[in-house]
Structure 1
């Protein structure tokens, strides 16, 4: 009844060459965003295809929803910039994809008033 010469397809074993041939695609990123003057970071799970602008929006929404302190003067994400750290003067471009940034911890601060 049982044939020892044929393996059932449902018990197929992947070989090392199969693993090398597969490209693993990143599907989710755990990102930490510290908002200026806050006590701790906002943790978010985002798609690597999301943009800096979408990350700012999500971080501000969570911060406001959780009623974190200090309260923000503005909840409009367009009023904020994303930086690699509080010591980085250059803000990241809003259309840049998260997967291209090479970092998972960021700092959000209000845009300087002009």
Structure 2
């Protein structure tokens, strides 16, 4: 009897069931009916007013409305956490940079920025992107809601050269033969 139980266990382990299980297989459970687009009726509706869409509820063919504001994430170079800026749909890259710099200073984040002038910063798609975005380009046309803010190369180059110049001068002063 123990051998029969061991054979049943190994049969079920290898995908072969008992005779009772084989007879029950044709009675498979039916897959539940699914609604693939649950939000079809509310896409065009304004959530603030609660009014139905103007075309009578057929939102599948209507053009997409652009939101009036979007939440944009701006990571600042050497900062621990990104800034979350509520940006208007009409804002340009320059407007977003100004708002991000103002918010960074207002929140008192560390490290301190080298300048509070928005023109001294460039906005990039990521920290690995070398080209900064065009300041006149609209935020809604960029296709992203996450950006990286860093000092412009000319401002960063001046800071690095001035600090390295003083550091090298100190080093030269220490190592002069006396």
- TM-score, length-scaled by structure 1: 0.81
Counterparts of 1:58 and 1:21, CA distance in 2: 33
Q: What's the counterpart of residue 107 of structure 2?
A: 66
More strand by share: 1
CA distance in 2, matches of 1:24, 1:57: 26
Higher helix share: 2
1:100 aligns with 2:126: no
Write out the 4+ residue segments of structure 1 that deviate beyond 6 Å after TM superposition: none
Q: How many Å apart are 1:47 and its aligned residue?
A: 1.1
Structure 1 residue corresponding to 2:79, chosen from 33, 38, 49: 38
**Higher RCO (C-alpha 8 Å, min separation 6):** 1
Alignment-derived partner of residue 85 in structure 1: 126
Matched, 1:50 2:91: yes
CA distance in 2, matches of 1:98, 1:110: 19
CA RMSD of aligned residues (A): 1.9
Structure 2: which 5+ runs fail to align? 1-50, 158-178
Task: Give the count of matched residue pairs.
Answer: 102
Determine which of 7, 10, 29 is the counterpart of 2:70: 29
Q: Could you state the TM-score of these two structures normalised by the residue count of structure 2? A: 0.53
